Structure 1
């Protein structure tokens, strides 16, 4: 894997340069919405971040003919406004470098021995190429799990900050409650409420109300989703909807969400109260349960992947486990690369395999440690 990682690192630099170049073209990239939202704050009009006509005018001033609606909650504006001080090409680079560095630092702290596999994780490459917020949410999820035992309050603060993209925290409250981690739950609640109140105080009531108007934009995107859009999504819901329609997809998704909640809550008994093991399963299950998820949202899967590697190095690898881990390490990038030609995004299946490996490894590793 070190050899693969070095080769992939070289290729990644070329691919990232291509992504940056393409982001300057007529279609730009998702980051343009963040940059435009930051411009609204610099102009003293934070509510304009959610004004579609304002965003179109500001974003197309960068030279792009395409533009994107900004739909993130108001606290996310605190993160994006400094980057609007730069021109769009420089802001793109700065956003990728800074958010990647934060995610990498948090992930390396959790798995210091496996630092090289962190730095060139393909799930990080696709997040960098899109200049989306996968590194930010990935750092919050990985940090929250890794710090749960040692610094439960800080763990809760990180989880609470997921108010910027709350659907990625779908399983977190159930996981924490089942483990009896009440200090972390209280810290998470205080963090989420505190960020919302800070945004209200700093950005005003108009901005908070304007955010609710963005819900219609998000709803319109999903109503109009065509096959290409659904294939770019990495959820079981999107792939079922592609072949069976929205009603069936929602029914299947509802069953899956309930099943993942039940398994995440049961994981504490199954894995002997091991926070890293149950947290690894919770993150793998998040990639299964979420209805709205793209491959660039998946840097958080570095934790369950490297937890499996670490346990394998400690306890010995099971038959075929090394090969499966190599495939899963590449999966966030590879499944997106082949989704349009194949007509199916296989990332949900990869997430299910990852969750199964964690579940079965967690049981045997815990038994080994007890013996």
Structure 2
């Protein structure tokens, strides 16, 4: 059983070779997703392109007008369309792509957001660059042309920079106003560690982006955005297996099998665990900002009841942090094998969700958090920088 317990066959050269194979497979999947997105199947990116398209044409309010969006998005040849529910600051990111023809915009969006995510991740883990390039969690975000690569870049950058340039870390977190439920742990994390510069920077950037969106897109844009809450609320009321199995939270999976009350309890328990982890991570890791970043990003996957697998490229940070710890301090029994499973989890759990009838990603996120937390048991100062 040593081949599983120690997994010594996972040498550096083999891992690098496997990573290239996974990267090539991922590229093929993204190419297939592009072909589907250009046909009647459609793509999540339609919502961002449609919002950016009407805003670039001078009508930002139409980004939140469902009738207009249906017309604009189905005009691409798609049978379906998607409500735009992101806060107005997201329009700053959407406009440049909305000004492009849809087929070009899809490619440009995926390339730009993947590039930003890869840059942030490689900055954090330069030694592990093959694992960054091949990360399956980024592939699923790319195939959906969703926001996960952009938000993942902000979270990874924020976690990496907190111990060095806390104001920049806070600014990155503040920019998550474009998808705020991914930043819910950050104020708690900053406050618990006394990182007030990051805390204030996050608040200033958030307010600045909101104010700028009002100045640029008009006084009524926040009210227009508020109308999208009905669409968001309608989504949260859906109790269909096809939808809930696409979500990656304990709330969604328990709701599918046990109803609303049990789901609410599960969601509160999951979120409560995430909050407690963010508060006590500083003590657990003796003030090591990078280690607490690994805790908080792992816990972020448990914090919100509303999360999809394509939101999870940020999990590259705690996953690769654990690999660095293993390389520098030694891998524990079965840890290599466990990390391989967790590395593939964001993509694999989504691919298996419909066939299995359950999305196992919440359990993978819980295991990831537990593994990161367990690395805090060493003597102070033993967390290693890559």
Shared topology, TM-score over 0.5? Answer: yes
1:228 to 232, 236, 242: 242
Residues of 1 paired with 2:20 and 2:255: CA distance? 38
Match in the other structure for 2:69 = 55
Supply the RMSD in Å over aligned alpha carbons.
Answer: 1.2
CA distance in structure 2 between the partners assigned to 1:365 and 1:146 by the alignment: 22
Cα deviation digits, residues 131-183 of structure 1 (max 9, x gap): 00001100110001100011111111101011100000111111111100001
Distance in 1 between residues matched to 2:89 and 2:206, nearest whole Å: 9
Mapped contact 1:29–1:130 kept (Cα < 8 A): yes
| 8 Å Cα contact 1:315-1:365 kept in structure 2 | no
Structure 1 Cα separation of the partners of residues 268 and 367 of structure 2: 20
Shift of 1:363: 2.4
Alignment equivalent of 2:95, drawn from 76, 81, 94: 81
Residues 187 and 368 (structure 1), Cα distance of their counterparts in 2 relative to 1, 3 Å cut: closer
Q: Which residue of 1 aligns with 2:269?
A: 255
* Aligned equivalent of 1:69: 83
Residue 119 (structure 1) aligned to one of 129, 133, 136: 133
Q: Pick one of 265, 270, 288 that aligns with 2:302.
A: 288
How many residues align? The count is 370
Distance in 2 (alpha carbons) for counterparts of 1:350 and 1:17: 27
Counterpart pick for 1:270 among 264, 284, 301? 284
Secondary structure at the aligned position of 2:319 is classed as helix
Counterpart of 2:209 in structure 1 is 195
Does 2:220 align with 1:206?
yes
Distance in 2 (alpha carbons) for counterparts of 1:369 and 1:57: 54
2:161 is aligned with 1:144: no
d(CA) in 2 for partners of 1:304, 1:183: 23
1:92 matches 2:99: no
Distance in 2 (alpha carbons) for counterparts of 1:11 and 1:57? 35
Report the Cα distance in structure 2 between the residues aligned to 1:91 and 1:369, rounded to whole angstroms: 42
Task: Output the TM-score relative to the length of structure 2.
Answer: 0.94
Give the Å deviation of 1:11: 1.1
Establish whether residue 171 from structure 1 lines up as the match of residue 185 from structure 2.
yes
Deviation at 1:252? 2.0
Q: Deviations over 1:81-138 (max 9, x none)?
A: 1111211111100000000000100100000010110011000000000000001100
C-alpha deviations, 1:276-333, integer Å up to 9, x for none?
1111011111101211110000000000000001111111111111000011000001
Conserved? CA contact 1:108–1:118, under 8 Å:
yes
Task: Tell me which protein shows more helix as a share of its residues.
Answer: 1
Question: Once the 2 structures are TM-superposed, how far is the Cα of residue 364 of structure 1 from its aligned partner?
Answer: 2.1
Aligned equivalents of 1:45, 1:365: Cα separation in 2? 58
SS of structure 2 residue aligned to 1:62? coil
Indicate yes or no: 2:191 matched with 1:185.
no
Matching residue of 1:338: 352
Deviations 1:186-230 (A, max 9, x none): 000000000000001111122211100000001011212411100
Aligned residues of 1:311 and 1:365 also touching (Cα < 8 A)? no
Q: In 1, distance between residues paired with 2:381 and 2:215?
A: 51
- Aligned partner of 2:34 in structure 1 is 20
Structure 1 position 102 matched with structure 2 position 116: yes
Aligned 8 A contact 2:297 2:318 in 1 = yes
Q: Do structure 1's residue 326 and structure 2's residue 314 form an aligned pair?
A: no
Provide the residue aligned with 2:3 in structure 1.
none
1:239 aligns with 2:253: yes
